[in-house]
Amino acid sequence: MKFKQYGVAKRGETSVQLRVLVTLSAIVLALLTASIILLVAKSNPIGVYVGILQGCFGSLYRFSALLEKLVPLLILSLGIVVAFKMNFMNIGAEGQFLMGGVGATLIVRLLPGLPAPVLLPLMAVVAFAFGALWLIPPAFFKSKFETNETLFTLMMNYVATYFVMHLQYERWKDPAASGMPKIANFPENALLPQVQGFHLGIGIAILLVGVVYILMNRTKTGYEIAVLGASENTARYAGMNVHQTILKTAIISGGICGLVGMIQTAGPSGTLSAEITGGLGFTAIIVAWLADLKPVRAAVVSFLFAILIQGGSYIQTAFQIPGSAAAMIQAIILLYILGSEFFLRYRIIKSGKRVEVA
């Protein structure tokens, strides 16, 4: 018997129409698959899917909760996009997030009496600096000794987590918290202003989308990052200072992730704790890849992920669905969307050969 032989070939630039078609097909297939699980769990799939949307858009309070999930996820993904574009695998966004929170909290503790218009920008600057400083060591060793930045940044997440736990349980523990391991809540002047339940963080996130887009597409630094990410030899041949570019990119990437620490501590959390990241630093890595390392796409993907997270939380209580089932629905949708990336990056072709099987 003779069979046609098939192979795969990398696509060029994918059109918007193809990307939308493939992504929508993946979502539809994911929902159909998840429906089987819901039926087994004796739940109405359509009701659950409508419930996910209601959990995000059903009221002003739910929509503000959605934005609370969106803001940190989007900003973290922007920081990761900058590093990944240079082919620097920054897996340490969680640690930079936490250290940014440490920097913001430190300023509040040292200068609690400053007026909000002075205190909040100062907290943001120090949070940016702390996040940047947390990524500089992996970047330095990468540029000088070609160490593996993936493992380096991953391990620094644990260092940051245990450092914050030390502050929370020992050094900065609130004596008025009745023995609970808690850092004191921020005073009113150290909290982000709110309008109808929406804090200033969403404005910062939107601004950063534009800033990162301009940085990556309209500046010399963005060009150097892209060239170095494509080929280090090409960058050296073009006369670029590779060591300086790596450090500069680390400062930008780590600083953006650190800024999230300030937004979360001065926003929804109201204080610093080891739990404020909620694993968003790792989710942001998936967002950055699905967005094809493009800032505007990262905003769209982050919004869809925030819907999954917020909607998943809502249906657990509204429909009495076990947390494991809600997490499984999210995982199935994510799996299909990730799988769809194969068809966006590659196409199946006939090799022109026939294989004979005896």
Question: Nearest Cα to 65, choosing from 193, 207, 166, 199?
Answer: 199
**How does DSSP classify residue 173?**
B
Walk along the chain (358 residues) and give the pLDDT tens digit of each residue.
555 566 677 776 777 788 888 888 988 999 899 898 888 878 888 988 899 899 999 999 899 999 999 999 999 999 999 999 999 999 999 999 999 999 999 999 999 999 999 999 999 999 999 999 999 999 999 999 999 999 999 999 999 999 999 999 999 999 888 888 999 999 999 999 988 778 889 999 999 999 999 999 999 999 999 999 999 999 999 899 999 999 999 999 999 999 999 999 999 999 999 999 999 999 999 999 989 899 999 999 999 999 988 998 888 888 888 777 778 888 888 888 888 888 877 777 766 555 454 5
Number of helical (H) and strand (E) elements in the chain, helices listed first = 13, 4
Q: What is the pTM of this model?
A: 0.91
The residue type of 183 is: I
Give the chain's largest Cα–Cα span.
84
Question: Nearest Cα to 198, choosing from 293, 71, 285?
Answer: 71
Neighbours of 24 (CB within 10 A): 11
Q: In 3-state terms, what secondary structure has residue 157?
A: helix
Q: In 3-state terms, what secondary structure has residue 273?
A: coil
Question: 20 burial class (0-12, 13-18, 19+ CB within 10 angstroms)?
Answer: exposed
Long-range contacts of 289-294 (CB under 8 A, 24+ apart): 289/84, 289/341, 290/337, 290/338, 290/341, 291/77, 291/81, 293/81, 293/84, 293/85, 294/81
H helical segments located in 58-110: 60-85, 93-110
**Rounded Cα–Cα distance for residues 358 and 356 (Å):** 7
Q: Which helix (H) or strand (E) holds 32?
A: helix 16-40
